[in-house]
Amino acid sequence: MDELTFRRTLYADPHTKNVDVMMQARQDPKKLAFWGELKTLDNDIALALRVDVPENLAQKLLLRQSINIESKERARKPWYWAMAATVALAAVLSFALITPSMDSLSYDALVHVSHSDIEVNKHGPLDMQTVNAKLANYNGTMTDGLGDILSANFCYLDEIKSLHLIVKGRQGLMSLFVLPKEGTAPVDKSFSNKKYIGLSFLLESTRVIVVGENESEIQSFSQRAKNTLSFSA
Amino acid sequence: MGCRQFCSTLDCTAHLTINNLLMPRNICEDDSVLSNMKTKQLKYEALVKAYHADVFRYAVWLIKDRAIAEDVVQETFLRAWKSLDSLQDDAAAKAWLITILRRENARRFERKTFDTVDIDDVSVADQKQESGSMVEKRDLRVAIEKLSDEYREPLVMQVMMGFSGDEIAEQLGLNKNTVMTRLFRARSQLKELMTTNSPVEVKASG
């Protein structure tokens, strides 16, 4: 093995088990030192590549998957299965019982809202650039004024990909869902369970659903959403 | 064999709880189906717990935006759930997830519009870890960020994910020699930058 091949082999993999490389390094202190330099560089690269993982990421992934499956199962099964699923999910997520006759989108919106605490960004509000980057998927833009946005995650309502914004309200967390009008089943203009109130409306070709705990606050939140959100066709 | 309660903890997912706790016996599906579902669910939970952090870290370096990376990781794991039966070899799980992740990321670019932000404003790594003694690490991080994608991606796969040359070659659809050449060039460029402390200017050269 010539000098160039020795170096190339180590540059490509400082942790190589190549026997020729090991023998050459054993016989030549300079080569051994070079190998040591590359191992140090690799340790530095590993440190430089470190990335913080969001808190509760595993929990979020598991929860979203379970809600997604539950939603699909409910769509496939007869009414008694759907009712059983409703009760079970309510028990698991510790929120008030949902009216089983509710349409699927409203139902799924309330399910997602019930785990908002897990979703919120612990490091404070998101910047508008991040939110608008996600809204671009729906040809939407938002200006300041809705409130502190604590989370902007995609989720599935009745198997339709939607953007779920969680906003800090005066009395708890408010939720806003954005989803395309096309392909979605009809949604009640207002819906509720024992804990949450939801409103649904159209902005251009986009459906918006807002959910909160306080009736007067949800009305003003809805108005702010109409003032700050805009969608192009 | 009749239906049984598989678990009684809230740690179990909603779906299993629904199936196991509330379904009356006369409408319960076949026991073997439930057993398969439970096995699949446990396998999925193990997959999420074992690999979510590595997959997220890899996504951040691939996408260069934490928020988008989290979205793509979510899509990746949802896709993994749907295809879980195709994962026959548990030892290959990490590579399998990265394959799904890269595919999901590519799908973003197939859409008419996709979410993106100006990557020049985004530093992918953890800023909070910086201190006076970390200046060199910061320089190295900047240098890695500015490596061309074709050099950075195999390097991240090797150093962060622990993939072998063969595994990287398979992921990237390249032959192993090309992968090893790219790894050689990536490290030699980084070493040169860190030695000369010259302004970071890294270009691909094949």
ipTM of the complex as predicted: 0.73
Give mean pLDDT, residues B176-182: 96
Q: pLDDT of B31-58, one tens digit each?
A: 676 677 788 888 999 999 999 999 999 9
What is the SS3 assignment for A204?
Answer: coil
pLDDT value, residue B197? 58
Q: pLDDT of B118-165, one tens digit each?
A: 434 445 544 444 444 456 778 899 999 989 999 999 999 999 999 999
What is the SS3 assignment for B191?
Answer: helix
Looking at chain B, the whole-number percentage of residues with pLDDT higher than 70 is 66
CB contact under 8 A, B13 and A65: yes
pLDDT value, residue A71? 73
CB contact under 8 A, B18 and A45: no
Q: Is the Cβ–Cβ distance between A34 and A10 less than 8 Å?
A: yes
From B57, B156, B183, residue closest to A12, measured CB to CB: B183
Window 37-96 of A, Cβ < 8 Å to B: 37-38, 41-42, 44-54, 57-58, 60-62, 64-70, 73, 80-81, 84-85, 87-89, 91-93
Whether the pTM exceeds 0.90: the reply is no
Q: Which of A61, A76, A98, A126 to mutate to test the interface with B (most CBs of B within 10 A)?
A: A61
pLDDT value, residue B172? 95
Token digits for B40? 């699949």
Q: Give the amino acid at A183.
A: G
Give mean pLDDT, residues A100-119: 79
CB contact under 8 A, B44 and A152: no
Give mean pLDDT, residues A110-136: 85
pLDDT value, residue B71? 92
pLDDT value, residue B134? 58
CA A49 to centroid of chain Cα atoms = 23
Looking at chain B, the whole-number percentage of residues with pLDDT higher than 90 is 48
* Cα dihedral B120, B122, B124, B129 in deg (nearest 10): 120
From A70, A85, A129, residue closest to B117, measured CB to CB: A129
Distance from CA of B98 to the nearest CA of A (A): 16
pLDDT at A107 over 70: yes
pLDDT value, residue A102? 67
How many CB pairs below 8 Å do chains A and B form together?
168
Please report the DSSP string for B34-80 in residue order. Answer: HHHHHHHHHHHHHHHHHHHHHHHHHHHHHHS-HHHHHHHHHHHHHHH
Mean pLDDT of chain B: 76
Element of type H or E holding B149 = helix B149-159
* Residue bearing tokens 């020699």: B177
Q: Is B128 left (phi over 0), alpha (psi -120 to 50) or beta?
A: alpha
Residues of A with CB below 8 A from B68's CB?
A: 133
Q: pLDDT of A173-232, one tens digit each?
A: 999 999 988 777 778 889 988 889 999 999 988 999 999 998 889 999 999 999 999 998
Residues of B with CB below 8 A from A8's CB?
A: 180, 184
pLDDT value, residue B93? 93
Highest-confidence range of A154-158, A169-173, A195-199, by mean pLDDT?
A195-199
- Between residues B115 and A183, the one the model is more confident about: A183
CB contact under 8 A, A45 and B144: yes
CB burial class (10 A; 0-12, 13-18, 19+) of residue A188? middle
pLDDT at B28 over 80: no
Residues of B with CB below 8 A from A154's CB?
A: 71, 74-75
Tell me whether A141 touches chain B (CB under 8 Å).
no
Q: Is the Cβ–Cβ distance between A187 and A194 less than 8 Å?
A: no
pLDDT at A16 over 90: yes
- Between residues A26 and A71, the one the model is more confident about: A26
Q: Is the Cβ–Cβ distance between A5 and B172 less than 8 Å?
A: no
pLDDT value, residue A142? 95
pLDDT value, residue A184? 72
pLDDT value, residue B127? 45
pLDDT value, residue A105? 83
Please tell me which residue of chain B has the smallest CA distance to A84.
B22
Q: Is the Cβ–Cβ distance between B156 and B182 less than 8 Å?
A: no
Q: Which of A63, A66, A111, A154 to mutate to test the interface with B (most CBs of B within 10 A)?
A: A66
Window 18-37 of A, Cβ < 8 Å to B: 37
What is the SS3 assignment for B181?
Answer: helix
Please tell me which residue of chain A has the smallest CA distance to B47.
A58
Please enumerate in sequence order all residues whose Cβ is within 8 A of that of A169, keeping only pairs 6 or more positions apart, or say none.
Answer: A147, A212, A214, A217, A221
pLDDT at B5 over 50: no
Distance from CA of B93 to the nearest CA of A (A): 16
Give the sign of the dihedral formed by CA A87, CA A93, CA A95, CA A99: negative
Tell me the C-alpha to C-alpha distance, in Å, between residue B118 and each of A11, B30, B31, B149.
32, 52, 52, 16
Please tell me which residue of chain A has the smallest CA distance to B138.
A48
Confidence of residue B195 (pLDDT cuts 50, 70, 90): confident
pLDDT at A35 over 80: yes
Give mean pLDDT, residues A113-123: 78
Confidence of residue A83 (pLDDT cuts 50, 70, 90): low
pLDDT at A95 over 50: no
- Give the number of C-alpha atoms closer than 13 A to the C-alpha of residue A118, restricted to the C-beta side: 15
